[in-house]
Chains A and B, each alone.
Chain A
Amino acid sequence: MLSRDANSMYWMSRYIERAENVARTIEVNSHMTLDLPGEEHTQWGPLVTIAGASDLFSTRYDEANQKNVIHFLAFDRDNPNSIISCLGAARENARAVRSSITSEMWEQINRMYLYVNETSTNARVFESPHEFYTRLKLGSHLFLGITEVTMTHGEGWHFCRLGRALERADQATRLLDVKYFILLPTVDHVGLSVDDIQWAAVLRSGSAFEMYRRQYGVIAPDKVVEFLLLDREFPRAVLYSLNRAEESLRAITGSLEGTFQSVPEQRLGQLRSDLTYMRVEEIIASGLHEFLDNFQKRLITVGDAIYDNFFSLRPVSGIHP
């Protein structure tokens, strides 16, 4: 397939997944805030921090309160990772590959964008945001389902899946970080504070509550971390996502399992294998935030390698001197 099309499909999926996860992050925080009355101000700032957008935020808003942060994360077109920007970008990418995806996929992305665009001018969303998140989440799931059942599971589909899996792994680590920033402001405190309600909120925001309960019963921080990071079967867990990403990457290159022929396969394989053979105790002991931070950096190098290997338009030799 065309390099440009592969690039667009990969980013189309990444942006949809990102939009869904930004919505999830806001949702988990809304829930936690309800449980922590009186600490409103300190509780919304961290969302901007983990999005890596503190500088941009402070130039545009004077205070990190609920309304400002939600506006920034959901509807601010100058924030490249806001929900509306993500859906706009997903839609532009979809438009660029409109001929290679199905009409149903395009129409679903278009519908989501039009919905968010319309909602952005509706002040009620700041008071009762729940419906907004729910519709976004369902919209994203619907897109995934449509992709699953209308698109041939060939190269393009694997690029979609690769982008989605990498984004989901990245976002899952950010979601865990929200909890870290809110409750555990310094590394020394790791493991000292246990709050059932708040960890439950983290699980719920990852649609992981019921599945976690069935597996572990009681809510314990290290088990939650283990579930969201290292589970092989839970579809929003990081390791699960990396395994799917690796499968799709191999389907694209044709490499056999356990082998690699390109830089992205090598880097993703190493990262996945580190996680495969990791214990949650080691992660907590070395510091969860530090671990997550390092993981995100390595994931970025995987993304860079994918770009270099598949998407960049390399010059062709010997044609136009």
Chain B
Amino acid sequence: MRFDNYDTEGFYDELFEAPGKPRPGAQILVERIHSLSDGDVTRRQIAAEQALLQMGITFNVYGADGGTERIFPFDIIPRIIQGGEWEVIERGLRQRIEALNLFIHDIYNEQHILRDGIIPEDIVLSATSYRAVCSGLTPPKGIWCHITGTDLVRDKDGTFYVLEDNLRCPSGVSYVLANRQVLKRTFPIVFHKSNVRAVADYPSHLLETLKYLAPDTQSAPVVAVLTPGIYNSAYFEHAYLAQQMGVELVEGSDLVVDNGFVCMRTTTGLQRVDVLYRRIDDDFIDPDVFRKDSMLGVPGLFEAYRTGRVALANAPGTGIADDKVIYAYVSRIVKYYMDQDMILPNVPTYICAEAEDLAYVLEHLDELVVKAANESGGYGMLVGPHSTREQQKEFAERIKSAPRNYIAQPTLALSRAPVIVDGHFEGRHVDLRPYILYGKDIFVMPGGLTRVALKKGSLVVNSSQGGGSKDTWVLSE
């Protein structure tokens, strides 16, 4: 299999500067692939898929009788990022997370940013992710967003943009670790020669981050991962992280609040838990405070958190910072709290709540992507260039009736990377989700999850809509 006929078709390609001309860090890989016999690349792809299946990194295809489990599609050609490029991303993410944390804390406490008129008050207070019950709280060590996954994309000219912040329960990091484990076996020689920065220490950093949140009085704090259970689509990840950290994986029914403390039911009685890495959304963690019908949570958990008897990661209420309208204000947030210019730019965004932007959006619906503030997974979205007049009209009405709920962005020409398709290489669009941990320091994992839209021409990288993944190599400089 060769790259001789691989066509970048005018897109920014992650591995090739131009057809036939690999980027500096990709030369070793391309040469190696060219040295392999025809069937060899395909065999390695099959072996990698087998390995993932045996590791049990699968999700269920519903409606089928027991037998059908699939792996999350994986392409063995890595995406390679130069060390210098990464250095900018890393600084940008640190800055962004620090600023967003300050923002969340301010919102639930003094609300300076609202009083100074940087963000209209009603935009924050009317957000469905705003949790009034968190007002006046200072979480342990003042940190709200301990684990963040920030979605980045590259445009035609190669510039990285932040597309979305995920500050609630971002998932996918286990795929980064598993993909890497598999790819080291797939291309051991290239991997060794390329000087790729390691990601395997992520669980250690995560554990350190979580332990840092425990009350100082606990010399050997007990950490646990709280999962909705084995039927959750991210269960593999919950179990994997707990296993890699060497901590208990608990379900809501394993926990009970006893004398104000959160405890696990063990074979020898109740044992106190100091820190919970909860992979259950705010709405479901405590039926006493949030949704009454939640079967997944623990009654009394929020009260234990409020009184400082258990730490929760991420803290309840962080969702306010990944509201799609708030996103548009992040550069102002960075400037306001840190007096710095934002290092990693946002995708240019029109805020429909602002009159001038609204007028522009309504006139250019056919070329913009319109997003609803509180929806995710591609719902409540209008992709202008792919929409009908009817749909545009309907959206115009929706926007006019609730401008606060909408933002709009130009359609980007996302960068591409080569993937194996029927025995040859074709370009597909990719994004990148790096993971950031905020504990004693801010740690940015070198790399992240590269998601690929496997359908030809598609821009949708979500696994539910035909997305797959690749290993991401950040090279040491």
* B191 sits at the interface (CB 8 A): no
A95 and chain B: residue at smallest CB distance: B230
Q: Are B256 and A110 neighbours in the complex by a CB distance under 8 Å?
A: no
Interface-facing stretch out of A22-30, A100-108, A143-151, A193-201:
A100-108
Residues on the A chain within 8 Å of B270, using CB: 316
* B73 sits at the interface (CB 8 A): no
Residues on the B chain within 8 Å of A98, using CB: 236, 239-240, 243, 249
The digit string for A1-37, where 1 denotes a CB below 8 A from any CB of B, is 1111110000000000000000000000000000000
Of the four ranges (under 10, 10 to 19, 20 to 34, 35 or more), the interface on chain B belongs to: 20 to 34
A1, A98, A106 — most chain B CB neighbours (10 Å): A98
The digit string for A82-116, where 1 denotes a CB below 8 A from any CB of B, is 00000010001001111110010011001100100
Of B243, B254, B257, which one neighbours A99 at CB under 8 angstroms?
A: B243
B186 to chain A, nearest CB (A): 18
Of B54, B241, B254, which one neighbours A110 at CB under 8 angstroms?
A: B54
A316 and chain B: residue at smallest CB distance: B256
Within the assembled complex, what's the spacing in Å between the Cα atoms of A95 and B240?
10
Residues on the A chain within 8 Å of B117, using CB: none
Within the assembled complex, what's the spacing in Å between the Cα atoms of A100 and B246?
8
Chain B at the A interface: SS class: mixed
* A252 sits at the interface (CB 8 A): yes
Within the assembled complex, what's the spacing in Å between the Cα atoms of A96 and B239?
8
* A123 sits at the interface (CB 8 A): no
Q: Are B253 and A313 neighbours in the complex by a CB distance under 8 Å?
A: yes
Residues on the B chain within 8 Å of A6, using CB: 267
Residues on the A chain within 8 Å of B241, using CB: 99
A320 and B258 in contact, given A77-B66, A110-B54, A252-B267 (Cβ under 8 angstroms)? no
A178 to chain B, nearest CB (A): 29
Q: Are B55 and A107 neighbours in the complex by a CB distance under 8 Å?
A: yes
Chain A at the B interface: SS class: helix
The digit string for B101-125, where 1 denotes a CB below 8 A from any CB of A, is 0000000000000000000000000
Within the assembled complex, what's the spacing in Å between the Cα atoms of A3 and B266?
5
* B206 sits at the interface (CB 8 A): no
A87 to chain B, nearest CB (A): 11
A95 and B55 in contact, given A2-B248, A6-B267, A313-B265 (Cβ under 8 angstroms)? no
* A319 sits at the interface (CB 8 A): yes
16 residue pairs of the A-B complex, CB under 8 angstroms, read A2-B250, A3-B265, A4-B265, A95-B56, A98-B239, A98-B249, A99-B238, A99-B248, A99-B249, A110-B54, A155-B267, A316-B265, A319-B256, A319-B258, A319-B300, A320-B299
Q: Beyond A77-B65, A99-B247, list 13 extra A-B contacts (CB 8 Å).
A: A1-B248, A1-B266, A2-B248, A2-B265, A95-B56, A95-B230, A97-B249, A114-B54, A252-B267, A313-B265, A316-B265, A316-B270, A319-B257
Binding site for A on B (CB under 8 A): 53-56, 65-67, 225, 230, 235-236, 238-243, 247-251, 253-254, 256-258, 264-267, 270, 299-300
